[in-house]
Structure 1
Amino acid sequence: MTTDTAQPHVFDATTANFEADVLRRSIETPVLVDFWAEWCGPCKQLGPILEKLAGEYNGAFVLAKVDVDKEQELAAAFQVRSIPTVFLVKGGQLADGFPGALPEGQLREFLKHHGIEPAASTAQDAVEVASAPLDPHAEVVRLRGEVAATPDDDNLKLDLALALLKTGAVREAEQLLDALPANLAHDDRAVRARSRLGFAALLDNAPAPEVLEAAIASNPDDLRARHLLGVQRIVAGDSQAGLEQFLEMLRRDRNFDDGLPRKSLIDAFRIIEDEDLVGAYRRRMSSLLF
């Protein structure tokens, strides 16, 4: 595993450059220091995830890679006893760290705990991302190509499984999730994907969305159609539209099908990653119930 010099936020740290590129640089930008080695299996799992996050966070932190075989003095200075070991350097000082290969979800939580959030590359990029959501079918095609090029990258397979779920390809997504290694099976994204599979299973032989919309238009009290449409919207990634259907079910008949409206909302809250959206709909659900 070698550092890709094309990645602007990832570099090799050495004894010679450590003071300037890690300690002094950390005064302005947090530096994540990854101690690794070529022969280390867990390092090969963790390294690509860290590099992916460094690119995604776009300068909110930088990743310094330390090959312990080549930089034994640095490893000794940090008292590294096992690899991989990761340290966070902020303000010129050691702030935190952890041993072992954490899953991506926990790495994101670690960064968030220290106030490190993804940074948009430019204001224009942020506008473009907001105004041009990804086509899930195009994303599946792109990810299939990347998986074919790097078949050992399990993170790409997880990304592909999530994209497949949004297109309704439930069986293939489930097969990919079942094949994930243990360290990724408990990743937050994989857990949410499993929950989405439970939702998706409800859609076997379900009518198309336009059919359900027509049924609701002709009979707004058709709560079965509302439920299926809400599930379809959630699985497809349109969380707000799905929550609106479940909330309307609750408003019209909270006791429908043994409390299905409330249960559907709670299940959806476990899947949806947007905490602000979940919080808003929790409050709206509570106002209807209490």
Structure 2
Amino acid sequence: MSQPPPSLNLRGAVDLSALSGPPPGQRPAGGTTPGGTAGGGAVVDVTEATFNDVVQQSAQVPVVVALYQPGEANSDELMPALTELAGSYAGRFLLARVDVTTSPRIAQAFQVQAVPSVLAVMKGQPLPLFQGAYPAEQIRQVLDELLRVAAENGVSGQLDVSGEEPEEAPEPELPPLIQAAYDAIDADDLDGAAAAFEQALKENPADAEAKAGLAQVNLLRRLNGVDAISALTAARDAAPGDLPVQLVAADVEIGAGQLAAGYARVIGVIRVTAGPEREEARLRLLDLFLLAPEDSQELIKARRDLAVALF
């Protein structure tokens, strides 16, 4: 057994950059430690491929790196005790267990001369802790000193070691009329959904969700019973200004997710019509605009093209 560990001082003598790229064929993390049981989220088994990810956590909590060799007497004595201690600290540090037989470059980066060796990494900087197998109480003293130094350096986070999946945030409740509209859509009652959205707009004309919902329902109602291939064929054979035929074809394209094509078709109608027909096409286009995200490139281009067509 080696001498008691020295007092802790942050230093950067070890170059960890050599581990920035894992060697070809490196197996993933997930091995087990002889005689040890994992301490929940406070313990990870690390390889050369995953070591840098672990080091990044040292900005929030100290990372205790334990380098061991399976079957070596001191390793087999130390690792179970260290793993159990890690669990008892409830996530105040992360224990990173490294099998030096499968991840020799980590041992080389830390300039380790013997195993087991225990070091810490804090804010990406390494510091030595001890070598050999120590009694649990002595190890606890070292860990307490490590946490004190970590706190002085602003590293005082805590890992989630509950082992439980985080609860999902409850879905926010929808306004009653919006909820009624969605319920009607689920029941395939498009007329009922439209009525609910329209009532919501009467109460709040600026309700963006109601506007978009009504536009979607109206599109579905217009497409009910429409044969897509026949509609597109008819529009191809019709004049560009044939309002009824071209608007049906645009609905088919928008319903199929072809926003650019649908918008361009309606803008084409606007370019060659005038009076009430042109206004009907413009209003239909504004309604179809509600079906695209505000940052959609198709929407942005169509708005620009509409402005050019109108003026």
TM-score normalized with structure 1 length? 0.38
Greater relative contact order: 1 or 2 (C-alpha under 8 angstroms, separation 6 or more)? 2
The higher radius of gyration belongs to 2
- The structure whose residues are more often helix, as a share, is 1
